[in-house]
C-alpha cells in the first residue's frame, strides 16, 4: 500500500499494497458526486461521443447499473447504506465533466488535480456543498505512470481519486476508505504479521475487482449486522454454534458472525460462512468451502486479517489462548462449528496511569496501576501478588482472583529525590492452577524537576484611565516540567495568578504608589526569581462631569 499523508492508495496491479436486539434498520442515504477529469497530457474522455469513459459510463458504475457501487453497498449493508443518484434534482445522475485542467500528469500531483477540478465544477454551476463525497475520475493509470495506483482516498474523509474507471470495485474500495474501513489482508500463520495487505479477496477492501460482499469484521465494524437481533454472537463458552450465510438479510435465527476474544492481543476472531450466490457468486472456493476465520481488533479503523477457511476436515487452533475451532457441517445456507476453550496461561498485563509523571524532589505522588488477566477463558481465576522495585510502595499487596479479561487496580506511592523508573510486578502467588511461569511487569517514568523556570523579563506597568494598573512582561522558559502560570506580586504580597503575559490590577486604592513584580511557576511548583520591578501610581477611575440643562 502507498500512504500519502492520511490517504490510502490501491496500486494499479491489483496487489495493493452477543448480538443486538435493535429495531429494524434505518436507511442512510449518502450523497456523492463524480467529477470527470482530463489533464493536458492525459485524457479520460476528450470526446464524449466517441470515448469509453463518458458521464453515462461512470454513472453506470457508481449509481445506475444493477451491479453498481451503490447497489453493492445497499446489498452488503442489508438496506442500511446507499448513495443518492440525483442529489441536485436535475434528473440526471450526479456525474459532471469531463473538465480539462491546465495541469500535467508529471509528478502525480493528485491533490492539485482535485482542487482544480473543484474550481472547474463550481464555475460550471455545481454546488459541491450538497455532497458528502467527491469522486475524482481520472485518466486510466496506464496514462499516469508517476502515480502507480488505481485508486486513492482519504481515510474517514470525503475525497477519492479513481484511475481505473472501468472497475466498479475500485470505486467501492475507495469509498470504503472514506467510510473508515482499512484494507483486508492475510495472515495465515496468525503471527500478527501481515502477509499480503490486500490479500483477502473475499472483501472489496482487498485487491479483488470481482463482485462480492464485505467480510464479517467489516460488516460488524460498520454496524450493518448490529441492527438485527442475534446477527453477531460473542462466544465465551465451549459448545456447538451455527452460522447463517453472509449476503442474506439476517432473520434473527442464526448469527452471521461469531466473535471470540483473543486475550493476548486484545483482538477478536470472527467466524463466518459464505456461499457462491448473489453478489458472492464469483467468490473463490477458498472462501466457500466452509467457515472462514478472520482476525480484527473489534471496532474502529484497523486491518482485517483472513487466517484460513475450514472445510469439514479443517481445524483452527490458537494454542496461546487455548482456542480450538472445528467445523462440523456446512451447506444449504448454514454451517456448524464446535468451539472449545482450553486453559492457556499468559503473563498478566501491567500498566500505569499516567505513563510518566513530573514531581518536585521529596514530594509524594500516587500512580494508578492496572493488572489484567490475559489467560484464556477456559482458565480459573488467579490472585496476583504485587511488588515494586526501586522506589515506591504498592497498596493493596495483591489483586484477585481475576478471571480472563478482568482488571484489578492498585495504587503505587512514590516519594522520589531523583528521576528514575518505577516497576510494578504481578506474580502468580496463589499456588493454584493455572501456573504462570512468567510475571507481568509494567513501568512508569518518574521525572524529578528541581529547577526553577527563568524569571520573566521586561515587566512594564501603566496606569489605566478607567481605573487600575495594566502589567505586561516577556515569557519565561522552563527546561523541566514546563511552565504552568505566573504569580503577580504587589508590594511583595501575592496579588494573583495568570497563564497570560499580562495582568490587570483592579483592586487597588486610587492615588497609591504600588511596586509590582512577576515570577514564573512550573508544573510541579518550582518558582522562579522575581522579574524586574515597576512602580506605578494606581489610577482612580475617572468620572464624567454633570451636564447643565437649559
- Chain segment 95-137, per-residue pLDDT in tens: 999 999 999 999 999 999 999 999 999 999 999 999 999 999 9
Q: Are residues 253 and 335 in the same domain?
A: yes
- Residue 172 · residue 72 · CB < 8 Å: yes
Q: Are residues 473 and 417 in the same domain?
A: no
pTM of this structure? 0.70
Q: Are residues 57 and 176 in the same domain?
A: yes
Q: Is the pLDDT of residue 358 over 50?
A: yes
* Cell 493536458 found at: 40
Q: Is the pLDDT of residue 323 over 70?
A: yes
* Residue 312 belongs to some domain of the structure: yes
What distance lies between CA 251 and its chain's CA centroid? 31
Lowest mean pLDDT among 45-54, 60-69, 433-442: 45-54
Cα–Cα dist 18/232, whole Å: 6
Cα–Cα dist 541/417, whole Å: 51
Q: Are residues 276 and 406 in the same domain?
A: no
* Cell 456523492 found at: 32
Q: Are residues 309 and 353 in the same domain?
A: no
* Residue 187 belongs to some domain of the structure: no
Q: What is the pLDDT of residue 543?
A: 59
Q: Are residues 66 and 155 in the same domain?
A: yes
Give the CATH number of the domain where residue 361 resides: 2.60.40.2310
Q: What is the pLDDT of residue 5?
A: 32
Q: What is the pLDDT of residue 265?
A: 92
Number of structural domains the chain divides into: 4
Domain span including residue 369: 349-448
Where among 397, 421, 448 does a domain terminate?
448
As a whole number, mean pLDDT of residues 456-470 equals: 94
Q: Are residues 160 and 12 in the same domain?
A: yes
Task: Tell me the HSE value of 47 on the side-chain side, using a 13 A CA sphere.
Answer: 2
* Residue 547 belongs to some domain of the structure: no
Q: State which H helix or E strand residue 398 sits in.
A: strand 398-402
pLDDT tens across 142-192, in order? 999 999 999 999 999 999 999 999 999 999 999 999 999 999 999 999 999
Q: Is the pLDDT of residue 546 over 70?
A: no
Q: Is the pLDDT of residue 278 over 70?
A: yes
Q: What is the pLDDT of residue 24?
A: 54
- The set of cell numbers assigned to 44 is 479520460
Q: What is the pLDDT of residue 37?
A: 97
Give the long-range contacts of residues 401-405, CB within 8 A, separation 24 or more: 401/430, 402/348, 402/371, 402/372, 402/373, 403/373, 403/375, 403/377, 403/379, 404/261, 404/263, 404/373, 404/374, 404/375, 404/376, 404/377, 404/379, 405/261, 405/263, 405/372, 405/373, 405/374, 405/377
Q: Is the pLDDT of residue 64 over 80?
A: yes
Where among 448, 479, 514 does a domain terminate?
448
Q: What is the pLDDT of residue 25?
A: 63
Where among 161, 180, 199 does a domain terminate?
180
Q: Are residues 296 and 400 in the same domain?
A: no
As a whole number, mean pLDDT of residues 493-498 equals: 97
Percentage of residues in the chain having pLDDT higher than 90? 80
* Residue 192 belongs to some domain of the structure: no
As a whole number, mean pLDDT of residues 409-418 equals: 93
Amino acid at each position: 500500500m502507498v500512504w500519502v499523508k492520511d490517504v490510502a492508495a490501491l496500486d494499479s496491479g491489483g496487489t495493493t499494497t452477543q448480538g443486538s436486539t435493535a429495531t429494524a434498520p434505518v436507511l442512510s442515504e449518502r450523497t456523492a458526486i463524480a467529477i470527470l477529469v482530463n489533464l493536458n497530457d492525459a485524457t479520460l474522455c476528450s470526446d464524449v461521443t466517441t470515448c469509453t469513459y463518458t458521464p453515462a459510463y461512470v454513472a453506470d458504475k457508481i449509481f445506475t447499473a444493477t451491479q453498481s457501487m451503490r447497489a453493492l453497498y445497499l446489498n452488503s449493508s442489508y438496506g442500511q447504506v446507499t448513495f443518492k443518484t440525483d442529489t441536485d434534482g436535475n434528473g440526471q445522475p450526479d456525474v459532471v465533466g469531463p473538465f480539462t485542467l491546465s495541469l500535467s500528469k508529471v509528478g502525480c500531483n493528485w491533490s492539485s488535480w482535485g482542487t482544480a477540478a473543484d474550481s472547474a465544477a463550481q464555475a460550471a454551476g455545481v454546488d459541491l456543498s450538497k455532497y458528502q463525497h467527491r469522486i475524482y475520475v481520472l485518466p486510466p493509470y496506464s496514462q499516469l505512470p508517476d502515480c502507480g495506483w488505481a485508486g486513492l482516498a482519504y481515510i474517514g474523509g470525503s475525497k477519492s481519486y479513481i484511475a481505473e474507471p472501468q472497475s466498479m470495485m475500485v470505486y467501492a474500495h475507495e469509498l470504503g476508505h472514506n467510510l473508515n474501513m482499512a484494507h483486508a489482508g492475510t495472515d495465515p500463520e496468525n503471527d500478527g504479521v501481515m502477509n499480503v495487505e490486500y490479500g483477502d479477496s473475499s472483501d472489496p477492501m482487498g485487491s479483488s475487482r470481482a463482485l462480492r460482499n464485505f467480510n464479517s469484521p467489516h460488516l460488524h465494524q460498520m454496524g450493518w449486522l448490529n441492527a438485527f437481533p442475534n446477527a453477531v454472537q460473542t462466544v465465551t463458552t465451549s459448545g456447538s454454534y451455527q452460522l447463517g450465510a453472509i449476503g442474506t438479510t439476517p432473520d434473527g435465527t442464526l448469527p452471521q458472525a461469531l466473535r471470540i476474544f483473543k486475550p493476548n492481543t486484545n483482538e477478536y476472531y470472527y467466524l463466518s460462512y459464505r456461499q457462491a450466490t448473489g453478489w458472492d457468486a464469483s467468490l473463490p472456493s477458498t472462501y466457500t468451502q466452509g467457515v472462514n476465520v478472520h482476525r480484527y481488533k473489534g471496532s474502529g479503523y484497523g486491518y482485517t486479517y483472513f487466517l484460513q477457511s475450514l472445510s469439514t476436515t479443517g481445524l483452527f487452533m490458537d494454542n496461546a489462548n487455548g482456542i480450538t475451532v472445528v467445523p462440523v457441517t456446512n451447506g444449504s445456507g448454514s454451517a456448524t462449528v464446535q468451539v472449545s476453550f482450553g486453559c492457556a496461561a499468559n503473563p498478566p498485563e501491567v500498566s500505569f496511569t499516567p505513563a510518566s509523571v513530573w514531581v518536585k524532589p521529596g514530594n509524594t505522588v500516587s500512580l494508578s496501576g492496572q493488572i489484567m488477566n490475559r489467560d484464556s477463558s477456559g482458565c480459573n481465576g488467579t490472585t496476583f501478588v504485587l511488588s515494586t522495585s526501586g522506589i515506591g510502595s504498592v497498596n493493596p499487596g495483591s489483586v484477585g482472583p481475576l478471571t480472563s479479561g478482568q482488571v484489578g487496580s492498585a495504587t503505587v506511592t512514590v516519594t522520589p529525590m531523583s528521576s528514575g523508573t518505577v516497576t510494578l510486578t504481578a506474580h502468580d502467588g496463589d499456588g493454584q492452577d493455572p501456573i504462570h511461569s512468567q510475571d507481568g511487569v509494567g513501568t512508569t517514568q518518574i521525572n524529578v524537576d528541581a529547577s526553577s523556570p527563568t524569571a520573566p523579563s521586561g515587566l512594564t506597568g501603566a496606569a489605566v484611565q478607567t481605573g487600575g494598573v495594566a502589567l505586561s512582561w516577556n515569557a519565561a522558559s522552563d527546561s523541566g516540567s514546563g511552565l504552568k502560570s505566573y504569580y503577580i506580586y504587589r508590594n511583595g504580597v501575592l496579588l494573583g495568578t495568570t497563564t497570560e503575559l499580562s495582568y490587570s490590577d483592579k483592586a487597588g486604592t486610587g492615588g497609591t504608589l504600588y511596586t509590582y513584580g512577576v515570577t514564573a511557576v512550573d508544573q510541579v511548583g518550582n518558582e522562579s526569581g522575581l522579574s524586574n520591578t515597576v512602580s506605578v501610581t494606581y489610577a482612580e477611575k475617572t468620572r464624567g462631569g454633570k451636564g447643565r440643562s437649559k
